[in-house]
Amino acid sequence: MQRRLSRVASLCAATLALSSGGCNGIFGDNCESTREYFANEVWGPVMSKSCISCHAPDGAAAEKNAEFILLPSSYPGFLDANYENIRKLAGAQYNGVPLLLAKPTGAVEHGGGRLFDEGSDQYKAIEKLLKELEDPVECAAGDSAAFAKVKTMSPEETLRKATLHLAGRLPSDDERARVKDGGDDELALVLREVMGEDAFYDRLVDLYNDLLLTDRYLAWTGFAVNILNDEDFPNVGAWYEGQSEDRQRLINQAVAREPLDLITHVVRNDRPFTEILTAPYMVFSPFSAELYGVSLGFADPNDPRELKEGTLTVVNDGSPVAYPHAGLLTSPMFLNRFPTTPTNRNRHRSRNVFKLFLATDILKIAERPIDPTEATKYNNPTRDDPSCAVCHKMIDPVAGAFQKFGEYDQEDFIPDQEWHQEMYSPGFGDEVMPTDQYGSAPAWLAARVAEDPRFALSTVYTVYTGLTGLQPLDYPADDDPAFSDKLAAWQAQDAVFNEIVDRFIADEYDLKTAIIGVVLSPYFRGVNATEELSAAEKIRLSEVGVGRLSTPELLARKIEAVTGVRWVRGWDLAEYLRTDYQILYGGIDSDTITQRLTHMSGLMSGVAARMANEVACSVTAWEFTRPADQRLLFPMVTLDHLPEGDSGDPVPGAIDDIKANIQHLHWRILGESRELDDAEIDRTYQLFYDLWKAGYANVQSGSEDEWLEWACAGRIDPRTGEELPEAEKINTDEKYTVRAWMGVMIYLLSDYRFLYE
C-alpha cells in the first residue's frame, strides 16, 4: 500500500486525475488510507453508534472532563478532528491493553458500561485501527476511482467556462492556444492572469456579498450613510447632504461596500486571505475617506476602485479614541448587518462568525430534543442547563469579543463598556481571553479564527458554492436507505475539499489557489458520464458537474460576453437582470431575499424567453451594419447569403458559409465544438432554412412587410444608444435573412446550455 506521497504526485492526483483523467492509473485504485479505514470501519459502524452518546461535547463524559471527545457529523471537519483525537489517545494503555479497547469491554472502569466483547467485530475494527496508527497509510489525495466514470471538460472547455464565471468574458485566441498546448498546468497559469482583471474583482464582490449581504445598504441612496452615528462621523450630516445626488450615490456605495472592498484589496494585493479578519486597518475609496474624515492622499479623487488602507478615530465622551480594527469583524457595515441588542448580547454576531468564517452552523448543532421546562430549574440556564450550555459555551465566549460595541448603536465603540459577568468569559474554544486584551478583543478573536483549520475549509466551501451554486454535501443520516452511497459521495467530496484546503494553506492562504482548485475539480468540470451508471453510481455522482443556473449577474455578463451587447432598459440603459428582473430571475436583494433560486421556475423561463427575443432583436441587424472582421456573431455571411437561388435550386457555397457561421454561433453562444456535419448543426440550419423559406415567400407575396420592427432595425448602436449614420442603417429585410438569423439567435440564447453553466 502507498505511503506518504510527494507534493508533485499529490498535485497531479488533485488536478489531473480528478478532472481530465491525466493521472489515472499512476496510483492504484485499491489504496485505503488509515483515515479512510477509520471513516468506513470504525467511525460509522462503531463510534457514531456506541460511543458518541456519552462522548459528544454535551455528553456525560464531557461533563467529567474526559479527554476522549467525539464531534458529531454536524461539526465541520468532524472526521479529521475525531481521527486526530483517537491518534493522540492511541498509546494510552491499561495493563498493556489500549484504553480505547479496555474501557468499552469493561476491563477498566467505564462510565458507559460494557459496550462490546473482546474479539467482537467492533473490537477487531478498533484494534486494527490502533495498529495502523503506528504507521499510518496515506494514499493519493482524492479517490480517482470515485470519478472514474465522470466525463469532464477539456482544458480548453474549462477555460471558457472559467473565464465567463470569473471575468464575464470569453477567452482570447491566445489564451485558448496556450491552454490547448499546455493543458491543465497552463490553464492554472492563465486563470491566475484572469484573476488580475478588474472584472474578476467585480465577480468577487458578488460572490462574497452572497455571504455578507451588505449590498442591502445600496437599496436607497444614502441608506448606508444614514445608519452611521453623527457623533463619531460628523460628515454624515450636513456635509453629505450638501453633495450632488450622483456623488451621494458614490459615497453611499463606497460606505456600503467597504467590507467587500477589503476582500478585493486583500486578494488583489496577494495578501493571505486571513487578513480579511486580522487586518489592523479598513480600506477607503476617495468617497468613503471623505465621509469618514480620513486623509489618505488619493491619486484620483474620483476613482472608486482606488483603495487605500487607513484607520478610524472616533469620539467617546467628547474625546478622540482609536477604533479597534479587526478586518471584517469591526467593519461598520458588518456590525450593522449582523446587529445585536441588549438581550441578544452579541450572540447573533457570534453565530455568524461561526457560520461565515468557521463553516459551523450553531443552530444545526443545537438540533436535539429539548424539554423547555428543564430550563426553569436553573437560575442561569445558558450556563447551568446542559441542554443550553452545549451551544452557549461556544457562542458566548466569541460574543464577548464584541463587548465594546454599543448594543443600540451597532458601530459605536465604547472603551469603558463592561462585559456581562453572568455569561461565559470572552474567549475562543478552550482559550479564555486575558482581561488585558479586552480593549482589542476583536483582533484577539480574529487571530484565533484565522488560525483555526475551519477557516480554510469555510473559504473553500464559499468558493465552491459561489462557482457551482451548490452547497457542500452533509454527512448522511445513519438511517438513510442510501447511506452507503451517500457516504461514498460525501467522502469523495471531502477528499477533494481537503486537498484544496491543504494547497490553499500551503500557498499562504492565497484565495486564487482555492479558486483554481475548485475549477480543476470534477465538481466544476463534469459534463456527463462516460457510460451508463448504476442506481448506486447515480447517487454517488449526483452532485458532480451539475450545471448551475446562471445568476442574474452571471447571465448579464454572459450576454454581453457572447453577443457584444447588454440587455438593457431603453430609457436609462440599465441592465434588466440587475434591476427589473433581478429578483424575478432568482436573484437576491441582500435584505429580505437572501437565498438564490437554483432551479428554473415558470416565471424565470418567461424572463429568459423575453431576454432571448429582445437581445436577438437588438443585436442581429446591427451586427450586419458592421464590417465582417468586426462582427462577433456573423463574420462568415452577408445578408445576401441565401440557401436557394431564384430558381429554387440550392446554392452550395452559400449553404456552406451559412453552416460555418452556425458552427461559429454554437461555439460562441453555447461553447460547443461541433463538426459541420453534426446533427445539432443540421437542426439549427434547418431552423434557419424554414424561417427564411416561409418568410421570404411571405415578403414576395406581400403578406408580410419587408420593413423590420422599429426596435429590431439596425439603426442604433445598442452598446451606446447612439443613432447610426443614415448610410449604415438597416431598416428593411427584403430577403428575410435578418429575421431568419434572428430566429437562430433566439433559439440559441434560450437554450438551457446558455442559461445554465
Q: Give 626's contacts (C-beta < 8 A, 6+ positions apart).
A: none
Beta strands in 127-285 (DSSP E): 150-152, 282-284
Q: For the beta carbon of residue 431, count every other beta carbon within 10 angstroms.
A: 10
Q: Give the mean pLDDT of 139-163.
A: 85
d(CA 691, CA 696): 8
Task: Classify residue 507 by burial, with Cβ atoms within 10 Å: 0-12, 13-18, 19+.
Answer: middle
pLDDT computed for residue 16 by the predictor = 40
Give buried/exposed letters for 190-221 (b at 16+ CB in 10 A, else e): bbeebbeeebbbbbbbbbbbbbbbbbbbbeee
d(CA 713, CA 523): 43
* Confidence grade of residue 366 (pLDDT, cut at 50, 70, 90): low
Q: What is the pLDDT of residues 217-228, one digit of tens each?
A: 998 767 999 999
Q: What is the pLDDT of residues 651-694, one digit of tens each?
A: 999 999 999 999 999 999 999 999 999 999 999 999 999 999 99
| Residue 323 scores a pLDDT above 70 | yes
Q: Give 661's contacts (C-beta < 8 A, 6+ positions apart).
A: 634, 635, 636, 637
| Residue 619 scores a pLDDT above 80 | yes
Our measurement of the distance from residue 587's CA atom to the centroid of its chain's CA atoms, rounded to an integer in Å, reads: 14
pLDDT computed for residue 318 by the predictor = 86
Q: What is the pLDDT of residues 64-108, one digit of tens each?
A: 888 899 988 888 889 989 999 999 999 999 889 999 999 999 999
Q: Which residue has the higher pLDDT, 323 or 372?
A: 323
**212 with 328: CB under 8 angstroms?**
yes
d(CA 254, CA 275): 20
pLDDT computed for residue 57 by the predictor = 81
Q: Which cell numbers in the block locate residue 316?
A: 467617546
3-state secondary structure of 144: helix
pLDDT computed for residue 468 by the predictor = 95
Measure the CA dihedral 707/710/715/716, to 10°: -160
d(CA 533, CA 80): 31
d(CA 676, CA 331): 56
pLDDT computed for residue 141 by the predictor = 52
The share of the chain scoring above pLDDT 70, in percent, equals: 94
Count Cα neighbours of 407 within 13 Å in the Cβ-side half-sphere. Answer: 14
| Residue 234 scores a pLDDT above 60 | yes
Q: Which of 10-14, 163-167, 295-299, 604-608 has the lowest mean pLDDT?
A: 10-14
| Residue 29 scores a pLDDT above 60 | no
Average pLDDT score over the chain: 91
Predicted TM-score of the model (pTM): 0.90
| Residue 237 scores a pLDDT above 80 | yes
**Partners of 529 in beta bridges:** 150
d(CA 424, CA 664): 65
Q: Which cell numbers in the block locate residue 16?
A: 489531473
**550 with 756: CB under 8 angstroms?**
yes
3-state secondary structure of 692: helix
Our measurement of the distance from residue 431's CA atom to the centroid of its chain's CA atoms, rounded to an integer in Å, reads: 31
pLDDT computed for residue 44 by the predictor = 85
Q: What is the pLDDT of residues 267-317, one digit of tens each?
A: 999 999 999 999 999 999 999 999 999 999 999 999 999 999 999 999 988
Q: Which residue has the higher pLDDT, 140 or 348?
A: 348
pLDDT computed for residue 61 by the predictor = 82
Q: C-alpha distances in angstroms, 2 versus 16, 148, 574? A: 19, 20, 58
Q: C-alpha distances in angstroms, 136 versus 1, 68, 413? A: 11, 20, 51
pLDDT computed for residue 432 by the predictor = 96
pLDDT computed for residue 379 by the predictor = 74
Q: Give the mean pLDDT of 691-719.
A: 96
Q: What is the pLDDT of residues 414-453, one digit of tens each?
A: 999 999 999 999 999 889 999 999 999 999 999 999 999 9
d(CA 189, CA 212): 30
pLDDT computed for residue 23 by the predictor = 36
3-state secondary structure of 303: coil
Q: Which cell numbers in the block locate residue 333?
A: 457595515
3-state secondary structure of 339: coil
The share of the chain scoring above pLDDT 90, in percent, equals: 79
Give buried/exposed letters for 624-638 (b at 16+ CB in 10 A, else e): bbbeeeebbbbbbbe
Q: Which of 67-71, 321-325, 373-377 has the lowest mean pLDDT?
A: 373-377
Closest CA to 165 of 450, 430, 467: 467
Measure the CA dihedral 259/263/269/271, to 10°: 110
Q: C-alpha distances in angstroms, 404 versus 72, 258, 317? A: 34, 21, 14
Q: Give the mean pLDDT of 23-27.
A: 31
Q: Which of 31-45, 667-681, 687-701, 734-748 has the lowest mean pLDDT?
A: 31-45
d(CA 332, CA 256): 9
d(CA 606, CA 585): 9
**153 with 671: CB under 8 angstroms?**
no
Count Cα neighbours of 664 within 13 Å in the Cβ-side half-sphere. Answer: 15
pLDDT computed for residue 144 by the predictor = 59
Count Cα neighbours of 349 within 13 Å in the Cβ-side half-sphere. Answer: 34
Closest CA to 691 of 751, 606, 616, 625: 616
Q: What is the pLDDT of residues 536-580, one digit of tens each?
A: 999 999 999 878 899 999 999 999 999 999 999 988 889 999 999
* Confidence grade of residue 647 (pLDDT, cut at 50, 70, 90): confident
**Rg of the chain (C-alpha set):** 30
